[in-house]
Structure formats: C-alpha cells, structure tokens
Chains A and B, each alone.
Chain A
C-alpha cells in the first residue's frame, strides 16, 4: 500500500531519457563532422549494448522491456561511441560496450555499481587504445557543454561536482592546462559520469570537494606529463575519487536542524 502523493520530479525512466536527449547535440555534431563511420560506430555501440543488456535482463529473469524503458544501456553505448576515437576497431568498441553493461549488471543493475561502468570499461581497454583521442574538437566540446548546461538547467544534475572541477580548471589556467577545456571527453565525463550519484558523495559539500579534488588531480597530472590523451588518466582519477566517496560522505555530514 503506497501513498499516491503528487510527484514533483520526473520518474527515473524519464530522467534517464532526458539525460540521453542531452547528448543529442553532441551526436549531431559528430555526425556532421565524421559522416558515415561515426554513424556506423554509433549504431554498433547502441546495438551491442542493448543486446548485452537484454541478455543480462533475461538471465536475471527481469522483464526485457526494462532495457529500453530505462535507457541506461543506450546511454552507456552512446557515451563510449562519442568518447572513443573513430579509428577504434569495431571489435574493441563492441568489447567496451559489453564490458560496461556487464559491469553494471554484475552489481545488480542501475543503482548499484560502486564504480561507473564507462570509466571501468575505458580503463580496462586503455592498453589497446592505439591512437590518441580526437583532441581539440571545439564544436563537439561546445555541443556537449550545451547539453550539460541544459541538464543543469532542468535540475537533473547536481551542479556541485562539475562546478568544483571547472573552478579548479579555470584557476589553474596559468599553468598551461587550457587545452583540457577543448577535450570533448572531459565534458562528457563532467556532465554524464561525474554527476552520477552512485559514484560520487551525496552531500552538497562532499560533491563540491569531490569535484575539486578530481580537478586538482587532473590538472596536476596534465601539467606534469603534457600528454595529449587525457581520457584514461581522467578515468583512473575518477575511479579513485569514487572509491573515496564514502569516506567523504562520512566526514562531511551536514548539520541537522534541530
């Protein structure tokens, strides 16, 4: 017996649908830039992740319709397709999508994984990623930024983590790490991965500190190494921060109003 109170926020499925929709400008820009190979990559990633998800749902004896009602797997596939370079072999892309979806289901579905599946998949496949990521893609970065801002405006994302990260990045511009801002992968991770509550602290202050710490680590590594391929590094940093999230949560309890 549950109460039928009024709902002030969209349901989980709708929320995920809107998150997916926010990637649309980025997808369009990519299609315009790259044309047919981008389309093939996107379709491959989407299909493979959807099929893997349906298999997992069937093996867990869950209704298959969940796979497209809650388009978690589509979001994962789309993000991987956007993040990995066009020259990635199809087998690697397939493996990345399957691994991410399997990782999610390994811990019991949408809300349970301690680490974000996209990060795990990126880090695991980084030794085989031959060519560097498409760097300095200004149009794609702007499109992704627009989608992220729209998500923030719709209040579907918490602003603390991206704000903390961007703050550190902007403050450290004199260090010569401004090229980070033009990486599409950075905006993708900021807007769609770091705002996932499962792998970040839940208190507002905790999230701010989480974002700042991630930004600090990222900037210092980038300033020290000057390596163009920042994605595996970012993934490792974010996984580290996810592991520290429970500690941050525990240390930064907000004061209760008595």
Chain B
C-alpha cells in the first residue's frame, strides 16, 4: 500500500495500491488495421504500397520531428486527415496501414554505441522514432552544442493516479533498462546519473544492478507534480548543474536502448488500461492501434467514454471516433469511463481552493475567467505560460469548472497563433526581399542599358568621323577604372573632344570639310543626346519606382570619379575652344556656332525634362567652364545622374553627385 501523498491545501491524492506481484503486461492481439498519425513527419511511402515491419514510413520534417516505422507488415491503404488522440481531437494527416497478419520483419542490425557521439546518437534516435516529451528524445540543438553534461536524470517517477506503465516497465524490463542507461552513459558521459523513482519497493530490484554502475537512486516523496521535468531538475540538481542537466523519461530510455543496441525502431509502447472497475493493467500495444481495439481488449462495452491520460491530466476524446484515433507515443494510459452526467459545472464561488493547491502559485480562477473570454494576452499576464497543466485545480474545484480543459485549449490556441504569426512574419520578410531584389535587378538593367547606349553612340560617332585626327590617345585606361556609369561620361567627353578638334582643324585650311564634319558631329551629338535622353527618362522612371521600394546602394566612388573626369574634360575643352576661337574665321564660326547652338538647344530641352525629375545637381565646376561645353555634356551627364543619383533620390541619401 502506498502512502497517501498530501498536497498543498491539505488534499490527499488517492493512489491505487500496487501489489508486489502485479500481473505481467499482456500483449495485445494484432489489430486489423493501424492508424498512424503523421505528427511532424512526412510520409515516404505511397498508398497501396506493401510495407514490412520496421520499414520506415515517414521521415522527420524538422529537427523537432521523429521518424515513423511500420509496426507490422501490411499494405498502406490511405493517407488522409483524421482525428488524432490529442486534446481537442484535431485533424491531421494519418497513415492507415492494413495488417496482413504475417508480421514479416526487416532484419535488424545491432549497433555499436562505442563509436557514437552525442550528435550522432541524437540523429539515430530521431531516425529510429524515439520520442521524448518534446520532439526527439535528445534535442538536436542540444546535441549540437556539445556542452558537458553534469547530471542525467532518468525520470521513472509516475505519481499521477492510474498511470502504471513505467512501473511495469521497470519490473519486467529491468535488464534492458540498465543496459539502456549504460549506453547513454557511454555516449553522453554525464558527470553523474540519478534514477528518480517514486516507490521504494520496486527500486530495490534495481538497486543491485544500479549500484555496480555507480548510479544514484533517488526516491521522490514530494507531492504530485513531482514527475515533471522542471520539478525533478529543481529537486535533484544543484544550482550549478540545473541549467545544463538533462531529464529523460524512463520509457523512452528503454526504447532508445532497444534502438541503439538492437537496431529496433520504436514501434510499440506499454499502455495502462483502466477498465470500469478501476483496475489498471498494462498492455504492450503497437503504436497506431485504434483506441476502440484497446478498450475492447480491456473489456469496455458499448456506451463508454474515453479518457486519454491519467487521472488528473487526462482529457476526454470523442468515443464515436475511437476507431479513427490511433495510439501514439504519448498515450500512457487509456480509461474507459461511462459518461459522467453528474458532473455539472456551476459558477465559481471563489472558495480559493484552486489557488491554495496550485503548484505554480497561479490564480486559476482568474486564469479561467480570462481563458473563457479568449483573452489570451491577459491570461498570459496572469501566468498561463507558467501553468504546468497538472490538473490539480480542476480536481479540487467544488463547482467542477473545466479549468484544465480551458487552460489547455487556450495554451494550444496561443501556441498555434504564435506559429502562424511566425510564419506570416517569415513570408512577409521573404516577400520584401523579393521586391527589393526585383527592383535592384531592374535598376541594374537600366544602368546597363544606359551605359550600352552611350557606348554605342560613341562608337558610331567614331566610325563616322574616322579621320585620324586624334593627336593624343584617349584616356581609356583611366576610364576603365571607373564604374559602368562612368562610361556615359566618357562618351560625352570623347564627343566634345572630337567636336573641339574639328573646329580647331577647320580653322587652318580645310574649312568646308571642317564645316561638314562639324555638322556631322552636331547631328551625331543630337542623336546621342536623344538616345541619352531616352535612356535617362527610362532610368528616371525606373528610379521613381525604385524610390518607393527602398534600400539600394549607390556607387558614390564611381560618381566622384565621373565628376572629376567631367571637370578635367571641361577644362581641356575650354582651353581648346579658346585657341580655336582665336584662329577661326568668322563665317566658319557662324556656321559652327549655329550647329552647336542647335545641338545645344536640343540638349537643353532634354536636360530640362531630366531636371524635372532629377535632384539638383552640382554643376558648379562645369559652369565655371564654358556653358556650351557644359551643355554638350549635360545630356549624357543627366543620364548618368538619373541612373545613379536620382534613383535613391530620397531623404536617406542627401548627397548627390
């Protein structure tokens, strides 16, 4: 007879007496079909496919998922959404396996734990489908950190009423349990290992095996929620160890031992079945066994209700869907209870019992109020996240309010909204980056186009005025160092140089040729300006669009190079033009001037349209030079500026070239 454990507030938790010779766990007959929920895993088989026992059916879809293996041989009938044996019976993808009864198995390969690192062990456990309380038994991110493990707690405490599976496991599979802990010790190398057990009598059997390994057995005598991970760590770990110690449930440890030492994936577990007479009995059941099959085995007749879990944390499941819901790894206990109509919830009388008994020192009556109002924010402010869902407040409530149900519901709801919010944020970020990328590509393309147009114009002009009148080499080497945008400036510079040269040469003797060349040059300049204008307008449009999109980079160094080149060329041109003017005949001057003015007018128009969009430019250096030369350059310069400077023409980029 176990002693009654007194709870805070003076309540006592009646725990079923456990005999020393409890009946051994029976093995469930093979069900005709298995219903395997795909929680956080992706199926790797097709409907209609024939599978063997131990064959992998689904892979983990993230680092928090675990793989799923076929519990028996058979055929996959369907993969469809069905109700799960989880709180609220949510719909999720379910794999339905029709057993063929032959139970043909894949050969198992025994592993060698001596070569495993913590990370490879964690990965192997995930592939073998060994789940802990949250996700895989060993969290992958923990295993990746490779920090030293000061304390490993094996949690065999089972203090919730009606749960008996772990105790049966310890009694019947003590050798496997010890071997599994030894394997974990070999791989994880913890500084010390503590076995937390809840009863002294069964731990005596383990004592002998445990003492030779140097492990510590600790009997937990604190009241009910002592089997929680956090409570155990708080109780057993010293403050220095608490942050890094690990607490693993005993049933999962045994499964991990089987998976690593014998290569056997996790396909079954011990379930406590509580019949109508409150007699708990343990049964080894395959994962995915329909709940109706289990309850029929336990002797439940028609018109039963299903409670999934122990006496305090258990939750009700719809009995009419018992065929569709399959056993999962966290199904420790199933109770077949007839519907209890006596329990009618009434209004809170503020007796304060829930407040007295709450192990987390919360105020369940306030929490309940806010949870009923779906006021998640306020419920969190009252500590909903600190609630361990132990169910004690529900058990002591005289008004029989569904406190635990509403807390669980609201917590799950909060969790799912958080996940959705996270996904939405992620998608929004992705979308923003895509928009930015598209704009950036467009701008780069526009720049490239403008540069190419300017280069083509320059080339065409070179071929038109192929006369080898160049006295000095073009400053190609210096220009190439500048960025793409500087090409346009180069083109304009080259353009004006040719023009000056033409006029100077015409001053000597070949005036007619020179005039024709000047005319051609001015026409070429007009064409050049028109093309540059078009490119500038296009770039300005792109830039205006991009301005709304946002962040982008400006090649300021290229721009300053560009400016310097422009100033240099303007100075050269000014000097040359002065020389030309000194020598030129007035008639030729007139003709030349006319052509130049014509071209200049056209360019000025282009400049005006560009300036309407462009930011104020710093043309001081150019203005000090001759105005004509500046106007010649202006079109090309505009194009370049509109490409580079105007695109980010926003407050965050106050400095333009």
Residues of A within 8 A of B (CB): 1-12, 15, 109-112, 155, 158, 197-198, 200, 202-204, 207, 253-258
> Are A6 and B161 in touch, CB under 8 angstroms?
yes
> Are B395 and A12 in touch, CB under 8 angstroms?
no
Residues of B within 8 A of A (CB): 7, 9-14, 161, 305, 307, 311-316, 318, 335, 337, 340, 343, 345-353, 355-356, 360-363, 365, 383, 386, 391-392, 394-400, 402, 404-405
Nearest A residue to B315, CB-CB: A3
How far in angstroms is the closest Cβ of chain B from A230? 27
The A-B contact count (CB < 8 A) is 115
A257 cross-chain contacts in B, Cβ below 8 A: 360-361, 386
In the docked arrangement, what's the CA distance between A253 and B365, Å? 13
A109 cross-chain contacts in B, Cβ below 8 A: 347
If the complex has contacts A2-B343, A4-B316, A256-B362, are A110 and B349 also in contact, measured as CB distance less than 8 A?
yes
> Are A198 and B312 in touch, CB under 8 angstroms?
no
- Centre residue among A8, A9, A257 by max chain B CB count within 10 A: A8
17 contacts between A and B (CB under 8 A): A3-B405, A5-B314, A5-B391, A6-B395, A8-B392, A9-B353, A10-B398, A11-B343, A11-B398, A12-B346, A12-B399, A12-B400, A15-B351, A155-B9, A155-B10, A203-B355, A256-B383
> Are A7 and B349 in touch, CB under 8 angstroms?
no
> Are B404 and A202 in touch, CB under 8 angstroms?
no
In the docked arrangement, what's the CA distance between A253 and B367, Å? 13
B7 cross-chain contacts in A, Cβ below 8 A: 8
A198 cross-chain contacts in B, Cβ below 8 A: 349-350
> Are B347 and A112 in touch, CB under 8 angstroms?
yes
> Are A12 and B404 in touch, CB under 8 angstroms?
no
> Are B395 and A197 in touch, CB under 8 angstroms?
no
A9 cross-chain contacts in B, Cβ below 8 A: 11, 353, 395-398
In the docked arrangement, what's the CA distance between A258 and B385, Å? 10
If the complex has contacts A9-B397, A11-B398, are A2 and B353 also in contact, measured as CB distance less than 8 A?
no
If the complex has contacts A8-B11, A202-B363, are A3 and B350 also in contact, measured as CB distance less than 8 A?
no
If the complex has contacts A2-B343, A254-B361, A257-B360, are A7 and B400 also in contact, measured as CB distance less than 8 A?
yes
How far in angstroms is the closest Cβ of chain B from A10? 6
> Are B349 and A202 in touch, CB under 8 angstroms?
no
A8 cross-chain contacts in B, Cβ below 8 A: 7, 11-13, 392, 395-396
In the docked arrangement, what's the CA distance between A9 and B355, Å? 14
In the docked arrangement, what's the CA distance between A216 and B349, Å? 26
B400 cross-chain contacts in A, Cβ below 8 A: 7, 11-12
A-B pairs, 9 with minimum CB distance = A197-B350, A111-B347, A9-B396, A6-B311, A8-B395, A257-B361, A111-B349, A12-B398, A8-B11
> Are A258 and B386 in touch, CB under 8 angstroms?
yes
In the docked arrangement, what's the CA distance between A257 and B348, Å? 24
B352 cross-chain contacts in A, Cβ below 8 A: 158, 197, 202-204, 207
In the docked arrangement, what's the CA distance between A180 and B394, Å? 40
How far in angstroms is the closest Cβ of chain B from A167? 19
> Are A6 and B347 in touch, CB under 8 angstroms?
no
> Are A4 and B361 in touch, CB under 8 angstroms?
no
A2 cross-chain contacts in B, Cβ below 8 A: 316, 343, 345, 402, 405
In the docked arrangement, what's the CA distance between A3 and B360, Å? 21
> Are B346 and A110 in touch, CB under 8 angstroms?
yes
Nearest B residue to A10, CB-CB: B398
Q: Which of B11, B316, B318 contacts A3 (CB 8 A)?
A: B316
Nearest B residue to A253, CB-CB: B363
A7 cross-chain contacts in B, Cβ below 8 A: 343, 395-396, 400
> Are B360 and A256 in touch, CB under 8 angstroms?
yes
> Are A3 and B351 in touch, CB under 8 angstroms?
no
In the docked arrangement, what's the CA distance between A198 and B312, Å? 27
In the docked arrangement, what's the CA distance between A5 and B351, Å? 20
If the complex has contacts A3-B315, A5-B314, are A197 and B349 also in contact, measured as CB distance less than 8 A?
yes
> Are B386 and A111 in touch, CB under 8 angstroms?
no
In the docked arrangement, what's the CA distance between A255 and B361, Å? 8
In the docked arrangement, what's the CA distance between A6 and B343, Å? 11
Apart from A2-B345, A4-B305, A9-B11, what are 9 other A-B pairs with CB-CB below 8 Å?
A4-B335, A4-B337, A5-B394, A9-B397, A12-B398, A15-B398, A155-B11, A158-B352, A207-B352
